[in-house]
Structure 1
Amino acid sequence: MNEEKSIKLLFLDVDGTLTTKWEIQVSKSVLFAISKLSETVMVSLSTGRISQEVKELINLAGLEQSYHVIGSGAEVYGPSMKLLRKKVLSYDDVTKVIDLAEDIPDGYGICHDGTWLDSPDAISKGMEFITLSLHANSKEQKDKILNHIQVLDREYHITVGSHIWNPEGFMILITQKGASKGDAIKYVQSELGISQEETAGIGDMPNDAPMFSQCGLKIAMGNAHPDLRQLLMWLYLVLKKMV
């Protein structure tokens, strides 16, 4: 495996990759595997979750000195969770998307100042947001929302992820243009002087495609994969032999 010989940086998606369906917390066995793997390579998170939702995970996994891609690429944090890069949506951006989606979504998630707001009535002019999510309970509903907002594809980054509280449903994620997981990972690679060929990524959803585009080694998981611990330990053993 020639690719693994040069791997220095590994990005891990969280929901559906580090967790299984209906789980919010990462299991102790997976945390152990991550900590072992971090002995041979820098392990970083690349997630749709916001900073407040991953701080405990970062501490438990011993990843405080790593770089992390948060909010589907809207934010990048460096060692000790220092904010290095932030791409925001304005009030006008958010209301434009919501108006186009009409009343199709079953719910909303609008991230402002580290908090999820669940109603358009809770936002006002002057506020900044890193992520807007539109919730759907079925593929048909998800496709209908995407059809309504597809005219905005050139203005914003639009992708689909899983919802922490409803893993059977869909979460359509909207961030500023240039705020995808791939854009954020490219920024981290530049900061660290690490190439695409030296980067690996593990994910499971369509919103991980931009992450994979920046990774030399790509591993796509089935949603709620039960064998992640074994996979991480296998990577640990492979990489350990090559350092």
Structure 2
Amino acid sequence: MSSFFEAQGLNYSVRSQSRSFFQPRPARPILQNINLHLAERETLGIIGSSGSGKSTLARILSGLLQPDNGHVSLRGEDFTNATSDVRQKLRPEIQMIFQDPQGALDPRQTVREIVGEPLLPLSLTQEEREQRIVNVLRDVALPSNSLNRYPRAFSGGQRQRIAIARALITKPSVIIADEAVSALDVSTQAIILNLLLDLQERYGLSYIFVSHDLAVIRHISHRTAVLDAGHIVETGPTADIFSNPQHDTTRSLLAANF
């Protein structure tokens, strides 16, 4: 089993990577033979049916989940098997936004603590940390008086803005969004997606956007990869994937969604 993921210009890759479930039955591969590439300032959408391996792939790419073999590398350094010092250096470069903002935010922490937590390992003064927090809240259109409030005081869309601010605070190169708008109503989804597009332009971000919602992928992604039973079965410019699908899995997904 082998796979390859590369972000051109970012030197961000996964090689010889697979992931399996081991219980309660013998090993069953989740991911195998994956080949993808990502350019700077590009959004790669990943679609597939439930159980196809989308979230597992996202977590491996983010460094939150170890592959059974192979490695994730960033800027030429092995992230998967790195020492704690190297991981601490590379960690700010890759951030993740999760599906459920309420579950992803600690209800016991204020917005200041939630958004500023990723900065704690960095060599910043208290004043520098505070300024970064204020700036990033402004960038996601949350008022500065949000700082001392708790997640329960915000709507679902506002909580996702907090999660986005937390992802942005370390000035990453890549943000991986795993079903990042699926818990929101349609109008709020559109607002958050447009915010992400604006942030991509301003920050020069690359996104990996995982979603079961093909309308979301069509709106935000430059290119799309189709995952089926742990394999990438089709990839290409999003417009081509949607207008002229080549694989039966892609055609089935489109037929079920449109």
TM-score by length of 2: 0.29
TM-score by length of 1: 0.30
Of structures 1 and 2, the larger Rg is shown by 2
